Structure 1
Amino acid sequence: MRRNALSLGVLIAVVVVAVQALLVPLFAAPAANLAPRDLPIAIAGPPSVAAQLEEQHPGAFDVHTVGDAAAADAAIKDRDVYGAILVSPAGAEVHVASAASPTVSALLTQAAAGLGAQVPVRDVVPLDVDDPRGTGFAGGFLPLAITSLLAGVLVFLLVRRRSARLLALLSYGVLAGLAAAAVLQGWLGILPGGFVAVAGALGLFTLAVAAAMTGLAAVLDKGGLGLGALTMFLVGNALAGIAAAPELLPQPWGEVGQFLPIGAGATLLRSVAYFDGAGSGTALAVLTTYALGGLLLTLIGRRGLAPGSAPTPHRPADRPGLVPAA
Structure 2
Amino acid sequence: MQNQVTQKDPALKKRANLRDVAKAAGVSVATVSRVLNEPGIVKRDTLEKVQKAIADLRFVPSAAARAINSGRTRFVGALVPTLDNAIFARFLAALERRLSEDGLSLIVSTTESEPAVEAIKAKGLVDIGAEGLIVTGATHSDEFHSLLERTMIPTIITSYFDGTNPLPTIGYDNKAAAQLALQHLIELGHRQITVVHGPVHNNDRTLARLSGLRSVHWEGQFTTVETDISLRGGAEAAVRIVGNSAKTDAILCLSDVVALGVLFGLQSKGISVPEEISLMGLDDLPSSAVAVPSITTVHLPVSRMGERAAIALARWISTQERPEAEMLEAKLIERNSTIRNETLQK
Query: Above 0.5 in TM-score?
Result: no
More strand by share: 2
Please say which structure displays the higher CA radius of gyration.
2
More helix by share: 1
The TM-score with structure 1 as length reference comes to: 0.28
